[in-house]
């Protein structure tokens, strides 16, 4: 998720672009840049690092011009560097482009362009855009972008300027957001509303497949097929703070709701719909290397560790390989039995957790191959790993991890299916069924978010409780652990998760009249056992809130409250069943007046021991 801004009008563009990028830093900040058209001459200034680094560069090398585009990057392809920063340009230095999202078919486009003599300077997917536009440019930037659009696959938003057309911006949208800000004698574009608010509250929100030609006096919106579009003006009522949260009260709630898009973007380029095969070219592993692994060691902390626990069930089921999951803070001191035949999967949203980094280094010392699942491409974990399978969730601002967790899970399922394909441990039909289920996940996640009001009412009903238990079996147990962590870290309610079969070995002593127990009962193979565990706690007069599958009409006869999930493949349920638990934690904390995005004693990334 990156930030895009643009300006065209009578004022100097640079200060407006920089201020806009500052408002979008929450969308990404590993590098930044801008391009300005000054009387027919395009100049680009860009640098790795936070926006401050760009400000310093521009103070030393000022830029003049009234038409410009800017970008703050959250790397998905190509590590953070000056070369990979946006904007990118064509060979003739006449066209400059900034982009947000992923161009799924960039490798084949790059190959084709290089064949016809184009010279690439970066490792990014974005750089195919200015060269493709250059191929089609005959003096009309809008027409050139329109002719390129149908060749692009993936989720993206782009903004372009051309030297020969000062006073003009061209933008296009496919999935990633893009907005046109309507000024008086000037106009603006941005990825998100916060960048526009100091100039205008009147905007066009572009839809997928729409483009716009923006000058100081006019905004022309059309569909890719050329049909003009009459846009209605959206009047923004939010203040800047609310706008950075997309109108949500907290980043956590915004990020819970971003999960369908995060899942979509994490899937892009990794699943071939036609063949139902998973493709992870970014790993660069041969079939022989994949077949050679004899063990998998997952190393992580907190929520990432809980993702690893789901990963154990998933990878052992798909690969029939032993999978160990360790808290990084334990792993680093137990002299683990791993070696060259081990794949160490290091999971970290921030990529900077000190214990996880130490675990990575220990695994390397012992000869293991290191695969990182992280949300920050330029992070220490990403840089020190041998293999990188990034989540594409965009910056996660709230301390409580939500969209990073579900996209970590998605990456573990993709890794398991990919290895199972290569090792021949999964049949064609089962694999196709699971891949179809993964492709359907964003829609299922959207449907689960529709349970928000039901869950909110439950959270408000039980928010004054001091102890809440979460129980489950198998995959449900792993998700129950994450649900308990979410609740305790932001509402400060004492919440614990237990394997349901473990209750009678001690914890049942704490289950007395009125104690809320959240019971996850989505796994068919252990459903009967789970139902008897629910009856066990009901017999002690606990209040049971059950999370059940779409077709389960049995459990409701026994419990007090029901959260019914949408239809989803049982094996894929964790990416869906966690969402009501995230919402429960959020609304319980809200009802208790807690500081949800910044809970006491906690940091977003634990970079010190």
DSSP string of 203-262?
Answer: EEEPPTTEEEEE-SS-EEEEETTS-B--PPPEEP---HHHHHTTT-SSHHHHHHHTHHHH
Helix axes 574-591, 428-449, angle to 10 degrees: 20
DSSP 96-107: EEEEEEEETTHH
Residue 310 in contact with ligand AGP, rule: CB under 6 A: no
How remote is the C-alpha of 437 from its chain's centroid?
Answer: 19
Residue 168 is a catalytic residue: no
Our finding on whether 329 is near ligand AGP (CB under 6 A) is: no
Instruction: Provide the strand spans (E) within 104-218.
Output: 154-162, 169-174, 179-182, 187-190, 202-205, 210-214
Query: Which residue lies nearer to ligand AGP by CB, 126 or 303?
Result: 303
Minimum distance between the CB of residue 52 and ligand AGP, rounded to whole angstroms? 23
DSSP reduced 3-state for 492: coil
- Please enumerate in sequence order all residues whose Cβ is within 8 A of that of 291, keeping only pairs 6 or more positions apart, or say none: 422, 423
Sign of CA dihedral 256, 257, 258, 264: positive
Residue nearest to ligand AGP (CB): 302
Is position 301 an interface residue for ligand AGP (rule: CB under 6 A)?
yes
Contacts of ligand AGP in 522-561 (CB under 6 A): none
- Give the strands of the sheet with 387-388, arranged side by side: 323-327, 295-300, 342-348, 369-374, 387-388
Which is closer to ligand AGP, CB of 301 or CB of 544? 301
Contacts with ligand AGP: how many residues (CB under 6 A)? 15
E strands in 306-417: 323-327, 342-348, 369-374, 387-388
The token pair that represents 188 in the structure block? 């603006």
Least separation in angstroms between CB 380 and ligand AGP:
11
| Catalytic (active site) residue 2 | yes
Query: Which among 146-154, 217-225, 398-406, 539-547 is the span making contact with ligand AGP, rule CB under 6 A?
Result: 398-406
Inter-CA distances, 254 with 258, 262, 565, 600, Å? 6, 12, 21, 20
The answer to whether 304 contacts ligand AGP (rule: CB under 6 A) is yes
Q: Which of 76, 353, 391, 522 binds ligand AGP (CB under 6 A)?
A: 353
The reply on whether position 383 binds ligand AGP by CB under 6 A is no
302 is a contact residue toward ligand AGP (CB under 6 A)? yes
Q: Which residue has the tokens 């290089």?
A: 114
The one segment of 124-132, 175-183, 332-340, 397-405 that binds ligand AGP by CB under 6 A: 397-405
Binding span for ligand AGP by CB under 6 A among 66-74, 227-235, 342-350, 383-391? 342-350
Shortest distance, CB of residue 67 to ligand AGP, whole angstroms? 40
- C-alpha to C-alpha distances, 516 to 11, 410, 467, 468, 572, nearest whole angstrom: 60, 30, 7, 5, 26
Under the binding rule (CB under 6 A), the answer on residue 264 touching ligand AGP is no
The phi, psi pair for 476, rounded to 5°, reads: -65, -30
Q: Does 58 bind ligand AGP (CB under 6 A)?
A: no
342 binds ligand AGP (CB under 6 A): no
Choose, by CB under 6 A, the member of 348, 407, 448, 573 that binds ligand AGP.
348
What is the number of other CB atoms lying within 10 angstroms of the CB of residue 242? 16
**Which stretch in 34-42, 106-114, 142-150, 302-310 sits in contact with ligand AGP by CB under 6 A?**
302-310
Is 63 in contact with 7 (CB distance < 8 Å)? no
Q: How far apart are CA 460 and CA 584, in angstroms?
A: 9
Question: Does the protein bind ligand AGP through residue 489 (CB under 6 A)?
Answer: yes
Pick 397 or 447: Cβ nearer ligand AGP: 397
Residue 108: Cβ within 10 Å count: 12
Stretch touching ligand AGP by CB under 6 A, among 49-57, 274-282, 393-401, 542-550: 393-401
**Contact status: 350 vs ligand AGP (CB under 6 A):** yes
**Exactly one of 2, 245, 486, 488 is catalytic; which is it?**
2
Under the binding rule (CB under 6 A), the answer on residue 391 touching ligand AGP is no
Q: Report the residue number, 211 or 596, with the smaller CB distance to ligand AGP.
A: 596
Q: Are 396 and 408 in contact (CB under 8 A)?
A: no
Taking CB under 6 A as the rule, does residue 174 contact ligand AGP? no
- If one asks whether residue 356 binds ligand AGP (CB under 6 A), the answer comes out as yes
Per rule CB under 6 A, is residue 76 in the interface with ligand AGP? no
CB-based contact 170:213 (threshold 8 Å) = yes
Q: Which residues are catalytic?
A: 2, 604
In the complex, the residues that contact ligand AGP under the rule CB under 6 A are 301-304, 348-350, 353, 356, 399-401, 489, 605-606
């Amino acid at each position: 998720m990156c930030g895009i801004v643009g300006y065209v009008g009578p004022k100097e563009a640079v200060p407006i672009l920089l201020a806009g990028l500052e408002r979008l830093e929450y969308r990404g900040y590993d590098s930044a840049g801008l391009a300005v058209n000054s009387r027919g001459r395009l100049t680009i200034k860009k640098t790795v690092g936070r926006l401050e680094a760009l400000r310093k560069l521009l103070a030393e090398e000022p830029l003049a011009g009234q038409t410009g585009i800017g970008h703050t990057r959250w790397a998905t392809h190509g590590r953070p560097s000056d070369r990979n920063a946006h904007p990118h340009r064509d060979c003739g230095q006449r066209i400059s482009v900034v982009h947000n999202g992923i161009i799924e078919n960039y490798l084949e486009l790059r190959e084709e362009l290089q064949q016809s003599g184009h010279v690439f300077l970066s490792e990014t997917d974005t750089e195919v855009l200015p060269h493709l536009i250059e191929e089609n440019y005959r003096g009309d930037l809008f027409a050139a972008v329109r002719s390129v659009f149908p060749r692009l696959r993936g989720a993206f938003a782009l903004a372009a300027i051309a030297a020969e057309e000062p006073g003009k911006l061209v933008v296009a949208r496919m999935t990633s957001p893009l907005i046109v800000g309507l000024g008086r004698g000037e106009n603006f574009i941005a990825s998100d509303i916060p960048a526009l608010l100091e100039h205008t509250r009147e905007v066009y929100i572009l839809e997928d497949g729409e483009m716009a030609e923006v000058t100081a006096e006019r905004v022309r919106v059309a569909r890719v097929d050329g049909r003009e579009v009459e846009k209605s003006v959206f009047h923004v009522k939010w203040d800047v703070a609310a706008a950075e949260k997309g109108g949500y009260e907290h980043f956590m709630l915004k990020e819970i709701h971003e999960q369908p898009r995060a899942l979509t973007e994490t899937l892009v380029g990794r699943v071939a719909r036609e063949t139902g095969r998973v493709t992870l070219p970014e790993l660069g592993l041969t079939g022989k290397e994949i077949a050679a692994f004899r063990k998998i060691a997952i190393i992580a902390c907190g929520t990432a560790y809980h993702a690893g626990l789901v990963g154990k069930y998933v990878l052992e089921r798909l690969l029939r390989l032993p999978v160990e999951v360790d808290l990084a803070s334990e792993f680093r001191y137990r002299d683990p039995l791993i070696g060259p035949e081990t794949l160490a999967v290091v999971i970290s949203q921030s990529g900077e957790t000190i214990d996880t980094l130490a675990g990575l280094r220990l695994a390397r010392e012992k000869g293991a191959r290191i695969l990182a699942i992280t949300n920050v491409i330029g992070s220490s974990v990403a840089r020190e790993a041998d293999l990188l399978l990034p989540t594409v969730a965009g910056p996660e601002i709230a301390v409580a991890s939500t969209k990073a967790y579900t996209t970590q899970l998605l990456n573990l399922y993709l890794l398991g299916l990919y290895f199972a394909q290569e090792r021949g441990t999964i049949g064609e039909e089962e694999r196709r069924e699971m891949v179809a289920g993964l492709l359907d996940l964003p829609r299922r996640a959207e449907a689960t978010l529709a349970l928000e009001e039901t869950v909110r009412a439950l959270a408000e009903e039980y928010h004054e409780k001091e102890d809440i238990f979460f129980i489950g079996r198998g995959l449900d147990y792993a998700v129950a652990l994450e649900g308990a962590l979410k609740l305790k870290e932001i509402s400060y309610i004492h919440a614990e998760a237990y394997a349901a079969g473990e209750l009678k070995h001690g914890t049942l002593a704490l289950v007395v009249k009125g104690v809320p127990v959240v019971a996850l009962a989505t796994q068919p193979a252990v459903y009967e056992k789970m139902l008897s565990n629910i009856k066990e706690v009901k017999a002690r007069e606990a209040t049971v809130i059950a999370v059940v599958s779409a077709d389960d009409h049995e459990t409701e006869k026994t419990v007090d409250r029901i959260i019914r999930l949408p239809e989803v493949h049982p094996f894929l349920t964790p990416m869906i069943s966690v969402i009501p638990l995230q919402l429960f934690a959020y609304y319980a904390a809200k009802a208790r007046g807690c500081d949800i995005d910044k809970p006491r004693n906690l940091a977003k990334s634990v970079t010190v021991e």
